[in-house]
Structure 1
């Protein structure tokens, strides 16, 4: 199915209205870089362990969307990997304590009023920088050799294992025990896999942008451009958010499942509307089944992990996923053939939000097409420095790759 010109303009406008500005990305980038500089200062108690702080989750993937409610806050999901330590050197508890002390010192140096909060796997800093950010920092150690051996022993793809990490979990029985069996993660590996699914369009858009501003391609950060895959995922996440806005039993499809299946199904389409329709038509084909018909959605960076592992325990979550997929297919198939922006707005309003649909309609009716720039907003000359708020926050389980 091919979308009409009106439908394509509307979908383009929808993404522009969902997108956060480059300035927000720059502020998120500065927030974790600032923490990294602190942890590597000469006086740091962990500087000899080569701490590396990097972003994960939707900020890393380029799929952040504006919140449904302007009062909602963004989470920056970050990792602090101590590259100079191994699992043989300390327990999960000890690692978390070591890092927590330095993060708390950073908090005090910034005049943050509320105390550092501990989550199951992370430390949480409460701060505000105009974009309503909080940062969850996951302590980690290198885990590449362990994961590679594990995957190869199972004849599974170890292509992305070079950036695997071990993380902490204070609810595990071995949290205080010296052991090789730590919880695993690999956000860098997942990001590289994700980029591989859109690399042609990513490189093409970076080249076009570099030429338009007389810059080198190497000087264009990934967040400055937006691919149809990223844009389609943003729309699907908003559709999911609206459909499960009153979800009281935690059945909303998780972002990592939507992102993974969408990336698998993306076939290199150049238009967002075409990518969206293609992804919706094929994403469920990448759900595997075992002999017991249990759903398997493998983490591409760690194929032992099943992103759908909770579906067996909570079958209502699997039913909700397929219910959402059917609804999304129906909604976007309807608007694909429409020529009237007004009709598209009326059709999508219940499924993406009334105000968002109205803004998209106004933008598309003005003849504005999606720019190669993210959110059609040029990057500012410099990021605003983070400022810190006194609002308490109870940390949740890190979203990981959402």
Structure 2
């Protein structure tokens, strides 16, 4: 087990681990479930009237696999896939409707659904995507709705595409592969590994060049099957071992066949984007290998944060195991150590709050400046990096768990959410961590009231005597 295993997954303190931070909250999960269930029932009934076909629906994709991640930034959305199945006997071309008919039915039905203000649907993308329609909701998520023909007797499906063609695509078959390939006892860990890969990809690729969720799921699932699991312990070791298998595979060929349909290549990236994926996976593997050989949790977290940014947690200050590890490191090595001292200033209007290595409580809406007070003592060539890590319901609701905050001896940010937050500063020399500090920022739930608020309007009616 690697030294940072508990920072990946920890049943004793689940909220202080990577697995917790990359997943949707329980409230977000329930909201999504309510919305997709309502939409699916509406589409079932409305599309039956439009098409004259019996309609079925099936939840698919990351939500079905249990590998959904939260958006990497407030500008992105949760993704849900609900497949709609138009049922008639025989082959797809034996029915009365073409692929474009099905896509048009679904698109028009979604527009009608969106027009009802009571549904919290904000927009239907127009034109629809090649393989699905997409409807956006107010709570930072969207639902993709692909259209299929289903022959129930043969249990056969075909996807309707914008080219007015039927595509051999069966989401049920690939889900059955997942269940058959990964034993039930191993699925929780394999799901976590898929989520780690997906969050890394969300942080490192733009939407247009990002590997698809199903591509990453198959790469991880098939690599997981090859692992000698008895020799591994902890998600950090499993992640590194999975990366080695995936990198070796893609170095030999960029083709990733659908395990449920060997004629389909799940890697739909361009040649340039496929090369970029391999390059970045090799970098990810390098991070994992360096993370496994660190001697303290803090140093490991600093390395793993190169892959996961603000989502990777930092050890708590009262972590007794970490204190023992640091003491052992200091005894074993005559290493250069730098203890950052951080001055903190928060301003809102004419009010100013100050602190050293922490601040608060302060109101929301403050501009906060963090400055390395002992920058003069930095060794030549040292690099100073800042990372915001948010927590609490307010940050989770808008999917803002932090971000990189720049480099240098000073940085500034705003206080936006109630709760305990951190500005983490790390100091590196020649690629090695020589010092770090967690600067706690306690934000109260209220903004600061005006110091001299306007007098009530009724007081202007008073007369001087």
Distance 1:333 1:364, change over 3 A: farther
CA contact (8 A) 1:232 1:272 kept: yes
Distance 1:51 1:362, change over 3 A: farther
Higher share of residues assigned helix: 1
Q: How many residue pairs get matched? A: 303
- Please name the residue that 1:361 is paired with: 315
Q: 1:96 aligns with which of 94, 103, 126?
A: 103
Q: Report the Cα distance in structure 1 between the residues aligned to 2:212 and 2:47, rounded to whole angstroms.
A: 41
* Residue 82 of structure 2 is aligned to residue 81 of structure 1: no
1:77-116 CA-partner distances (Å, limit 9, x unpaired): 2211112364321111222223333333333345456456
Cα deviation for residue 235 of structure 1 reads 1.4
Higher share of residues assigned strand: 2
- Please name the residue that 2:174 is paired with: 190
Q: Report the Cα distance in structure 1 between the residues aligned to 2:318 and 2:238, rounded to whole angstroms.
A: 18
- Please name the residue that 1:275 is paired with: 238
1:37-91 CA-partner distances (Å, limit 9, x unpaired): 2234499505852322222222222222222212321122221111236432111
* Residue 5 of structure 2 is aligned to residue 8 of structure 1: yes
Larger Rg, first or second structure (1 or 2): 2
Q: 2:160 aligns with which of 154, 168, 172?
A: 168
Cα deviation for residue 242 of structure 1 reads 3.0
Q: 1:32 aligns with which of 26, 31, 36?
A: 36
- Please name the residue that 1:297 is paired with: 256
- Please name the residue that 2:222 is paired with: 264
* Residue 144 of structure 2 is aligned to residue 136 of structure 1: yes
1:289-348 CA-partner distances (Å, limit 9, x unpaired): 7xxxx64210112110012354xxx43223222212211111112112334121012212
Q: Report the Cα distance in structure 1 between the residues aligned to 2:111 and 2:210, rounded to whole angstroms.
A: 34
- Please name the residue that 1:123 is paired with: 133
Distance 1:279 1:363, change over 3 A: farther
Distance 1:241 1:133, change over 3 A: closer
Q: What are the residue-to-residue correspondences of 1:3-402 with 2, within 5 Å?
A: 3-4=1-2, 6-12=3-9, 13-41=17-45, 44-46=48-50, 49-84=53-88, 86-89=92-95, 90-111=97-118, 112=121, 114=123, 117-119=126-128, 120-129=130-139, 132-142=140-150, 164-170=156-162, 172=163, 175=164, 182-201=166-185, 227-244=188-205, 250-267=208-225, 269=229, 271-284=234-247, 286=249, 295-308=254-267, 310=269, 314-353=270-309, 355-357=310-312, 359-362=313-316, 365=319
Q: Report the Cα distance in structure 1 between the residues aligned to 2:291 and 2:254, rounded to whole angstroms.
A: 31
Q: Report the Cα distance in structure 2 between the residues aligned to 1:24 and 1:363, rounded to whole angstroms.
A: 30
Q: Report the Cα distance in structure 1 between the residues aligned to 2:291 and 2:125, rounded to whole angstroms.
A: 47
Q: Report the Cα distance in structure 2 between the residues aligned to 1:60 and 1:366, rounded to whole angstroms.
A: 39
CA contact (8 A) 2:40 2:82 kept: no
The two structures have a TM-score, normalised by structure 2, of 0.58
**SS of the residue aligned with 1:59?**
helix
Structure with larger RCO (C-alpha < 8 A, sep 6+): 1
**SS of the residue aligned with 1:317?**
helix
- CA RMSD of the aligned region, Å? 3.2
Give 5+ residue unaligned stretches, structure 1.
146-161, 176-180, 203-225, 368-402
CA contact (8 A) 1:50 1:83 kept: yes
Give 5+ residue unaligned stretches, structure 2.
10-16, 322-465
Q: Report the Cα distance in structure 2 between the residues aligned to 1:122 and 1:200, rounded to whole angstroms.
A: 31
Q: Report the Cα distance in structure 1 between the residues aligned to 2:47 and 2:62, rounded to whole angstroms.
A: 32
Cα deviation for residue 251 of structure 1 reads 4.3
Q: Report the Cα distance in structure 2 between the residues aligned to 1:113 and 1:254, rounded to whole angstroms.
A: 25
**SS of the residue aligned with 1:53?**
strand
CA contact (8 A) 1:7 1:339 kept: no
**SS of the residue aligned with 1:361?**
coil
- Please name the residue that 2:369 is paired with: none
Distance 1:43 1:319, change over 3 A: closer
**SS of the residue aligned with 2:315?**
helix
**SS of the residue aligned with 1:51?**
strand
